[in-house]
């Protein structure tokens, strides 16, 4: 559904708890995204969180005063912390610092955040955010395991560059991703049109080696493919994600296979697609690769370098041409004549459906968190059909694509 469609969190009461960490700058956007879906949001902050972002900012985006004092006389007169604990349908601790995780794991109640978490019957989601070395520390990992044991939901952190300059796991997931975790929690389990389906999805770029240090690739971030994987899992499917090189966290419940080249991706796909009912080729697979890969780094000895290229295997067409192919969905990322090229690709490769978008638009192209698509398919009378998916988050677009595919399969 689009952002203007029915609000998926209408009537839900979400308590966002903020601990100290640089990732707190993302929390106002999380609050806004939750409210966009109809949720009522209240915010609790630790003293450390206030060093990174002001209560006034979160008050402005939530529309309510921010709570931060356990022993606030005005609040305590009405047992304010108990009332907040009872009010919440769900608590999200984002970001969750190593210190807060440790205190929650050991049942401490020395500030408002930890007291609320002990006093509530609501489910609690924890989004760790810290330096990659801290996240890898076995004590932190043990504390997270302890939280899981006691019924907390620990959201794996994302990987990438960090404020301290390090690169690795420990980044708080983006607000849109966290919102989708909350939405998924409240999804009606009967609303799973992809239950009993095995879906294989490709995502990200491929890298075609030139020599040991250079390669041909493209700007694909993998965000659309990963959004599809997350949405498919939430809609009941068993998901195998074949991912080219990209620094994105694996969606919960999804089996991920990492590959580099187009040949690697083809082998992984062909290993798993025979048992799949749906195949989605969302990866930006390099069209060509060098005929020869130099065994040593090529030296800059001249002003020009000539590389002979050969066409890569067509993964989509290969899957669609199987004796018993799955329902096959392709993507057409074009810069001009989008519908013309997408329809041609649908026909040429024998696809069941194609999703086309204009990557020349920087707001919906590579690396963007939003997208807009046109779905194209042939109906039961072989007549070409189209459906516009207006601008929305990639998570929303992913759900729309999958629901439409499910409807076509079951029609």
H/E run at residue 240: strand 238-243
DSSP label of 74? H
Candidates 117, 144, 164, 282; catalytic one: 164
By the 10 Å C-beta count (0-12 exposed, 13-18 middle, 19+ buried), 185 is classed as middle
Q: Find out whether 230 and 398 touch, Cβ atoms under 8 Å.
A: yes
H/E run at residue 288: strand 288-290
For residue 376, what are the β-bridge partners? Answer: 354, 386
Question: Is 164 among the catalytic positions?
Answer: yes
Beta strand pairing status for 124-128 and 255-258? unpaired
DSSP label of 5? S
Q: Find out whether 310 and 291 touch, Cβ atoms under 8 Å.
A: yes
Q: Is the dihedral of CA 58, 119, 187, 232 positive or negative?
A: positive
Length of the chain in terms of residues written:
411
The CA-atom distances, in angstroms, between 91 and each of 12, 78, 82, 84, 303 are 11, 21, 14, 10, 60
The 10 Å Cβ neighbour count of residue 382 is: 6
> What is the biggest distance separating any 2 CA atoms in the chain, rounded to whole angstroms?
80
Q: Find out whether 23 and 95 touch, Cβ atoms under 8 Å.
A: yes
Q: How far is CA 9 from the centre of its chain?
A: 18
Distance CA(394)–CA(374), nearest Å, equals 13
Catalytic amino acids?
Answer: 164
């Amino acid at each position: 559904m689009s952002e203007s469609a029915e609000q998926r969190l209408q009537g839900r009461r979400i308590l966002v708890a903020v601990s100290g960490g640089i990732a707190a700058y993302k929390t106002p956007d999380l609050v806004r995204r939750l409210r966009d879906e109809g949720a009522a949001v209240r915010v609790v902050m630790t003293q450390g969180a206030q060093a990174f972002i002001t209560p006034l900012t979160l008050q402005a985006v939530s529309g309510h005063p921010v709570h931060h004092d356990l022993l606030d006389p005005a609040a305590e007169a009405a047992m304010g912390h108990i009332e907040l604990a009872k009010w919440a349908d769900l608590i999200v601790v984002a970001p969750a610092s190593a210190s807060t995780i440790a205190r929650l794991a050991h049942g401490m109640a020395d500030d408002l955040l930890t007291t609320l978490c002990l006093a509530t019957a609501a489910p609690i989601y924890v989004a760790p955010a810290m330096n990659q070395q801290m996240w890898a520390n076995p004590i932190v990992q043990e504390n997270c395991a302890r939280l899981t044991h006691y019924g907390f939901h620990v959201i794996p952190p994302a990987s990438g560059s960090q404020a301290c300059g390090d690169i690795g796991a420990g980044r708080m997931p983006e607000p849109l991703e966290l919102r989708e975790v909350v939405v998924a929690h409240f999804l009606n389990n009967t609303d799973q049109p992809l239950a009993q389906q095995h879906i294989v999805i490709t995502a990200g770029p491929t890298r075609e080696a030139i020599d040991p240090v250079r390669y041909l690739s493209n700007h694909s971030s993998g965000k659309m493919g990963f959004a599809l994987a997350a949405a498919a899992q939430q809609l009941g499917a068993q998901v195998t994600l074949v991912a080219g090189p990209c620094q994105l966290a694996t969606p919960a419940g999804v089996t991920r296979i990492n590959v580099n080249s187009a040949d690697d991706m083809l082998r992984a796909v062909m290993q798993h697609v025979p048992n799949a009912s749906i195949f989605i080729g969302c990866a930006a697979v390099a069209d060509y690769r060098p005929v020869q890969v130099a065994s040593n780094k090529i030296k800059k000895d001249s002003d020009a370098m000539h590389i002979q290229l050969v066409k890569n295997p067509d993964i989509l067409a290969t899957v669609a041409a199987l004796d018993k192919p799955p329902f096959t969905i392709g993507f057409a990322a074009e810069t001009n004549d989008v519908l013309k090229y997408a329809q041609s690709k649908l026909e040429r490769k024998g696809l069941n459906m194609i999703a086309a978008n204009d990557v020349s638009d920087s707001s919906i192209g590579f690396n963007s968190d939003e997208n807009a698509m046109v779905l194209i398919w042939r109906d039961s009378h072989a007549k070409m059909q189209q459906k516009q998916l207006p601008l929305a988050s990639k998570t929303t677009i992913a759900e729309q694509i999958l629901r439409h595919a499910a409807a076509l399969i079951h029609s």
